Amino acid sequence: MNRFAELLDALLFTPSRNGKLRLMREYFATTPDPERGWALAALTGELGFAEAKPSQVRDLAMRRVDPELFGWSLDFVGDLAETVALIWPETSPHPNPPPHAGEGVGVSDGRVGAAVPTLNEIVETLQTATRAEVGSHLAPWLDGLDATGRWALLKLVTGALRIGVSARLAKMALAEWGGVDIARIEEVWHGIVPPYSALFAWLEGRAEPPGIADLPTFCPLMLAQALEEGDLSGLDPRDYLAEWKWDGIRVQLVARGGEVRLYSRSGDDIGGAFPDIIDALPEAVTLDGELLVLRDGAVAPFNDLQQRLNRKSPAPKMLRDYPAAVRLYDLLRLGDEDLRGLPFAERRRRLETWYGSPRPRLDLSPLIPFESWEELKALREGARERGIEGIMLKRADSLYAAGRPKGPWFKWKRGALTLDTVLMYAQRGHGKRSSFYSDYTFGAWHEGSLVPVGKRRRCSRNRTRNCGGSTNGCAITRRTASGRYAR
């Protein structure tokens, strides 16, 4: 657990993407199974403890310290895990700590009655613990860990790491360490479960890739390059097919082996929020498309779609008021046949044949006939229909390749209107209280570029609430200075 805590703390203090990748590669290379597997699950958001609640952590802390002092400290620090980690009473030192004491179950860490738990012990214990038992497990673990370890434990248990690492970045570190393309990891990801022993065995060359057979796994999406008008001079319009770029969420629908999944662009399973889409998907097919709210065939504003996102169990009224549908772009798999190695024009023909007559909750995105770039540009500028962001250009002979290959696909958006942006940044640091740096930039689009015309303002923050935002939305408060107050 101490090694995992060191990793989280280092990731939090490392602002650069390459630095975070290096830290994760080193951890995967030097940590044995199943510890590294549980760590990977935590970093990718695949690890959760349903019976562990923040209220239990709060109650546990108030049984160890004065409740009033705890309330003041939490108000000052703003983060529950941070506050409890700092204010938790230290246990008495052991008079004769054993030499070379290592980390493990029941191994003394220099404290009376305190043992440093392993990450595996924590996960296996909490996965079977009842809600009433969680507190009795947490207390001795908190006694055995130092402030950084307590902070990492509570972040892990409450499922709120917030260390600037996305699931995609963790998978990228895994791919770099294992020397494989990240697309191969994403292809097997939804066919494996923590602690990913088969995955690590494959990446270390000790086994074949994990078998996914007929599992409803995700196919990494093919993305488009941004297109500027000047780029058109080097392209032949006869080589490309055009379709509308809809203002929704890019998704992939997968039905294999009797199971159905709806994946986001990043490979997250969002089917729970869209049971109406799941119920409408036929058997044995993988489709690429755009998730929208459609009313009588018209695309609703993006805000309507947002009402449906991130809901574990949408109510019948929500399903009725915001009817979801997918406009289909591409056909990737049909039955046992993988079509990604076919040219786009052929995949499109197969999609139209498969689609046939209209299907519930599925809509075929139309192709745009055109003869020249000038004609297509006029169509783009004249398309003021709600839900259209611009045009997609796809080479007729392009294969479906994961990632963003240069040349086959382009996205040609219409110019945006004047907009205001606010960029906010905060981080824990080295002895000074956290500050927020807010860049208020007033800009306008000019010839395809955002021209900033605003000014930069710095707002020092003594408390997480001073900016008027939610403490949950804050980055992470600084431990060193706030610890003086908490103690």
Cα(198)–Cα(105) distance, rounded to whole angstroms? 25
Cα(142)–Cα(109) distance, rounded to whole angstroms? 12
Which H, E and C letters describe the chain, residue by residue? CHHHHHHHHHHHHCCCHHHHHHHHHHHHHHCCCCHHHHHHHHHCCCCCCCCCCHHHHHHHHHHHCCHHHHHHHHHHHCCHHHHHHHHCCCCCECCCCCCCCCCCCCCECCECCCECCCHHHHHHHHHHCCHHHHHHHHHHHHHHCCHHHHHHHHHHHHCCCCCCCCHHHHHHHHHHHHCCCHHHHHHHHCCCCCCCHHHHHHHCCCCCCCCCCCCCCCCCCECCEECCHHHHHHCCHHHEEEEEEECCEEEEEEEECCEEEEEECCCCECHHHCHHHHHHCCCCEEEEEEEEEEECCEECCHHHHHCCCCCCCCCHHHHHHCCEEEEEEEEEEECCEECCCCCHHHHHHHHHHHHCCCECCEEECCECCCCCHHHHHHHHHHCCCCCEEEEEEEECCCCCCCECCCCCEEEEECCCCCEEEEEEECCCCCCCCCEEEEEEEEEEEECCEEEECCEEEEEECCCCCCCCCCHHHCCCCCHHHHHHHHC
Among residues 20, 245, 377, 411, the one annotated as catalytic is: 245
Is residue 344 within 8 A of residue 337, CB to CB? The reply is no
Identity (one letter) of the amino acid at 325? A
The bridge status of strand 240-246 relative to strand 388-395 is: antiparallel
Task: Tell which residue, 132, 111, 155, has the closest CA to residue 1.
Answer: 155
Question: In the structure encoding, which two tokens stand for residue 80, read together?
Answer: 């529950």
Is residue 329 within 8 A of residue 221, CB to CB? The reply is no
Residue 20 annotated in active site: no
Cα(390)–Cα(383) distance, rounded to whole angstroms? 8
Is residue 70 within 8 A of residue 61, CB to CB? The reply is yes
Active site residues: 245
